[in-house]
Structure 1
Amino acid sequence: MGLAGAGHQSRRRRRRARPRAGPRGAYRARSVIGTPRVHYRCTDSTNQRAREIAARGAPHGTVVTADQQSAGRGRQGRTWSAPPGSAVLMSLIVRNLGQSPALLPLVAAVALCEAAESVAEVRCEIKWPNDVWVDRRKLAGILVEGRFAEGWAVVGIGLNVSSRVEEFPPELRSSATSLLAATGAELGNEDVLSALLESLERRLSTRPDELLDAWRARDALYGERVSWNGGEGTATGIDDSGALIVDSDSGDRVTLDAGEVHLAPD
């Protein structure tokens, strides 16, 4: 997909605390998260742009942002749709993955929840594996890609900020939300992005056990009837690798480390 808009590297500087040395197993930061920044008015996919520059050696903490994506991607090959300028669309390059690259989606989800709650009066939950919900509607999505064997990953995030319900595609109006739709608060993308980068910087240095506790406290599926390609059952949380645990209707305890899970119909 060709590039639809020219990008530039932001010279804006944010004052933030120096990152602390993370404990064993954390993602140790060598530079401030969010710098350097490459911004596009429009691009096909921030994850694609970030992957390209990561492969060329872009440093840990580099972030790619866009006002609009023409081919934004979610999990399972789905597209991410948002009206131009209405969402935070960003991809963060993370290096020094340590022993726990599988926990990166959990890092992003917890950071997203905390950032959203810091700028708006919302209560966020996490729908395994990579969605953030407000009132059972999708506020944000996460897509983690990369070359883990080479020590880097890209954390892609789409967070609806100012979309109105009527601006969502008809098929999403009953299942999607934004900070504006949920609270009526009119927020700027840059303010939300700043809160998100600060939250990511903090959570990238969180010990795995603390991260898992924070994620479990927001688990939207715990105790719920769920279905997946292969069965139905009751979700009972996640294990220490981030996999979903389900007590299936057949009596077996099933561990799901990938795939789509939905709330089972009543």
Structure 2
Amino acid sequence: MNKNQFISDVSLLTTSSNSLVGKQVLNLSLAESTMDEVKELAKLGAREGLVLIADNQSMGRGRFNREWLTTSGQDLTISILFKPALNQVHMLNMVASLAIQETISEITQEEAEIKWPNDVLVNGKKVSGVLIETVMSTATHVDFAVVGIGLNVNLNPLVMDAIKDSATSISLITGALTDKYEVLSKLLSMIDRQYQLVLQGRDLCIDWSTKVSTIGNKVKVSNGSKIISGYAVDLDSVGNLILETKQGRVTVTSGDVTVI
């Protein structure tokens, strides 16, 4: 990474003196992947809470290595460095998706919802997604985790055939262009608040479950070539989805969910 790529003008970002997330924010004009950049910085000793934002990504990815589409310089593609204990790793998804849900709901005045496991929707269309990658040196020691967030701020999905029917953005919801740095400032504050609760011993699963709209629906879960259908009846203590199927209850740890 060339340090001269960094852009220092993130003056709209504000964090409190007690904040952990967002104390250091690096803004790149171009990155292959913010996830990979933060991993590199973590290996060099970067502190927990580091945030990296890129105006453009040439190899941005979502879950299952899918391409994440954005509008150049108009949307948020960020990655955040965390150094949680092993028993806190599962709550990083809850931290991020709860914070995104709160941020979008507050800005748009529309109730956002979480589609299990980590998409955030408004009126049934995706506005944000979360990717988490964890690096462990042993089976019981977490070196660090990187949380990647893609959030459609001013994206116009109508000009992108691949997502025109399934995605939306803050600007489409509100009818006005939105400053992405104002969104980022609010989002980082929300993430910091949720993560501080985790560090204080709070279990976020109950809070998170109230925002997961998947519960109560008949769904199909696809994971590679494996497909499971049933009623989404509950979440377990670490956020896995519990399905009631013809063969009995099944716990699903990952996959793509479709309401049927």
Residue number among 94, 101, 125 corresponding to 2:89 in the alignment: 101
CA distance in 2, matches of 1:14, 1:85: 16
Q: Does 1:235 align with 2:232?
A: yes
How far is the alpha carbon of 1:106 from its aligned partner? 1.2
CA distance in 1, matches of 2:123, 2:10: 37
Query: In structure 2, what residue type is equivalent to 1:227?
Result: K
TM-score by length of 2: 0.88
Q: Does 1:215 align with 2:208?
A: yes
Number of equivalent positions: 249
- 1:177-256 pair list within 5 angstroms: 177-207=168-198, 211-228=204-221, 229-248=226-245, 250-256=246-252
Query: In structure 1, what residue type is equivalent to 2:259?
Result: L
Q: Tell me what 1:16 maps to.
A: 15
| Residues 15 and 64 of structure 1, relative CA distance in 2, 3 Å threshold | closer
Q: Does 1:44 align with 2:10?
A: no
CA distance in 2, matches of 1:17, 1:77: 35
Deviation by residue 1:168-220 (Cα, 9 ceiling, x = unmatched): x2121110000111221321010000000000000002256652122111112
Q: Tell me what 1:132 maps to.
A: 120
Name structure 1 gaps, 5 residues minimum: 20-30
Query: In structure 1, what residue type is equivalent to 2:176?
Result: A
How far is the alpha carbon of 1:32 from its aligned partner? 3.1
Query: In structure 1, what residue type is equivalent to 2:227?
Result: G
Deviation by residue 1:38-88 (Cα, 9 ceiling, x = unmatched): 111111111111111011110011111011111110001111011102211
Contact 1:219/1:237 (8 A) holds in 2? no
CA distance in 1, matches of 2:186, 2:257: 29
Q: Does 1:61 align with 2:49?
A: yes
Instruction: Determine helix, strand or coil for the equivalent of 1:174.
Output: coil
Query: In structure 2, what residue type is equivalent to 1:16?
Result: T
CA distance in 1, matches of 2:155, 2:16: 32
Residue number among 108, 112, 133 corresponding to 1:145 in the alignment: 133
CA distance in 1, matches of 2:195, 2:180: 22
Q: Tell me what 1:28 maps to.
A: none
TM-score by length of 1: 0.87
CA distance in 1, matches of 2:23, 2:66: 29
How far is the alpha carbon of 1:116 from its aligned partner? 1.4
Contact 1:133/1:140 (8 A) holds in 2? yes
| Residues 219 and 13 of structure 1, relative CA distance in 2, 3 Å threshold | closer
Q: Tell me what 1:163 maps to.
A: 155
Contact 1:147/1:153 (8 A) holds in 2? yes
Query: In structure 1, what residue type is equivalent to 2:237?
Result: D
Q: Tell me what 1:24 maps to.
A: none
Name structure 2 gaps, 5 residues minimum: none
Contact 1:221/1:237 (8 A) holds in 2? no
| Residues 153 and 9 of structure 1, relative CA distance in 2, 3 Å threshold | farther
Higher mean displacement: 92-101 or 73-82: 92-101
CA distance in 1, matches of 2:50, 2:241: 30
Contact 2:7/2:29 (8 A) holds in 1? no
CA distance in 2, matches of 1:185, 1:236: 38
The percentage of counterpart residues that share the same residue type is 31
Instruction: Determine helix, strand or coil for the equivalent of 1:60.
Output: coil
Contact 2:13/2:184 (8 A) holds in 1? no
Deviation by residue 1:133-158 (Cα, 9 ceiling, x = unmatched): 11111000100112143431111000
